Structure 1
Amino acid sequence: MNWLRKLLPGNTVRADRAAVSNLYAAILKRARNPQVFGDDGFADTMDGRTGALAIYTSLVTTRLSAISQRGRVLSSRLTDRVFDDIDAGLRETGVGDASIARKVRTIGERFVGLGIAVNEAFLTSDPQASIHDILERNELTGGTGTANVADDIIDVRRTLEARSDDSLLSGLLDW
């Protein structure tokens, strides 16, 4: 009877919500890790923090999208979840309704741009140098932090590639 429950639409929606929540929690844990900020990591600024979130999210969503149609759906839902959280965060800081859309759009454009740039860096002959350049150009890191973050991004990509499709579709992501 358990196999029948898996076929019912309500269970798929519930499973997808759980997977998105788990993936988002793992991304936030990685992006908010205090050890990846400061002189040896991302700049501890709003741009540095949203940059970290953008990069780690884009690595996960790109991997999900490459799996299947369900992976593309989860990727889209995960992106929606991230932006819902950004919107809520801006509202909590007192940003007025009139400027929320503009701020979310600005963050979104940067978010998407960073994600595309980092994923394209892996298509170059020297991903390390390309990621290093992206981080510096966008002023996300400084000093020894640039090399450390570039190494971390490459490690995250390797970790995601090593994860089974089923584990990612289930929302299982331990860094």
Structure 2
Amino acid sequence: MIFGYFSRKRKNREIVDRLYRRLTAIARNPAFYARMHVPDTVMGRFEMLSVVMVLFFRRTDGKDPALQQLAQDVVDTFFEDMDHSLRELGIGDQSVPKRMKKLARMFYGRAQSYGTALNEGAPLALSAALHRNIYPQDRTDKDQLQMVGAEELSELAQEVMRLDKWFLERDEAELLAGQLTQPDDSIVQENQTNA
């Protein structure tokens, strides 16, 4: 009996890790950083991973309890990864919890603003939220900020909306098995086939 419990936990861990790797791969697509000028920095990657995680949670929200538990395990993995990344960057043990609280507030704020814009089908509101979070005005790298134009921002918002649609179309069995396939019609697929 107890061995079955550990076997189940290990299998669930494998599914969660596989899903998290897929979500991370989608967020780290080079097109976001090269074509759409998302800053290729720790915070830029956090922002894109946050976007992808929000889309994943929209798909799992209010669904099957097993799917909700899977989503919780994935978000736990996300924050464990953020904690580990902060420590790798040399943030002291006493500062990490404070930074983690800030990252959690940032993430849940983004989840609310992106979710509202997507629920309303409001590309302009989504563009505004993406601009505010991904391309903040107080950045020190003014050259990169100036490179971000309406075209790149619009393309990013359109891609987020395409990815949202793609996530919403995923079958529950696919997600529960951790078999998240690659988006077919998005830049993520284009980039991986061209690489």
Give TM-score, length-normalised by structure 1: 0.86
Going from structure 1 to structure 2, the CA distance change for 1:152 and 1:30 (only over 3 Å counts) comes to same
Aligned twin of 1:152: 159
Moved more, 84-93 or 55-64: 55-64
Letter in 1 for 2:56: V
1:42–1:146 CA contact under 8 A, matched in 2: no
Letter in 1 for 2:38: F
Aligned residue for 1:95, secondary structure, equals coil
Measured in 2, the distance between the counterparts of 1:139 and 1:62 equals 20
**How many aligned positions are there?**
167
Q: Structure 1: which 5+ runs fail to align?
A: 1-7
- Counterpart of 1:129 (choices 124, 130, 134) is 124
Give TM-score, length-normalised by structure 2: 0.78
Aligned residue for 1:122, secondary structure, equals helix
Aligned twin of 2:110: 114
Alignment deviations for residues 132-159 of structure 1 (CA, whole Å, 9 cap, x no partner): 0101122438313211211111111111
Aligned twin of 1:57: 53
Q: Kindly report the root-mean-square deviation, in angstroms, between the aligned alpha carbons of the 2 structures.
A: 1.8
Letter in 2 for 1:106: K
Aligned residue for 2:63, secondary structure, equals coil
Q: Structure 2: which 5+ runs fail to align?
A: 136-144, 183-195
- Choose between structure 1 and 2 for higher RCO, CA contacts under 8 A separated by at least 6 residues: 1
Alignment deviations for residues 78-135 of structure 1 (CA, whole Å, 9 cap, x no partner): 01101101111111111101111111111111111112211121221x4311210101
1:61–1:78 CA contact under 8 A, matched in 2: no
Measured in 2, the distance between the counterparts of 1:14 and 1:65 equals 24
Percent identity, aligned pairs only? Answer: 25
Measured in 1, the distance between the counterparts of 2:18 and 2:83 equals 20
Letter in 2 for 1:156: L
Measured in 2, the distance between the counterparts of 1:154 and 1:41 equals 18
Measure how far apart 1:9 and its partner are. Answer: 4.4
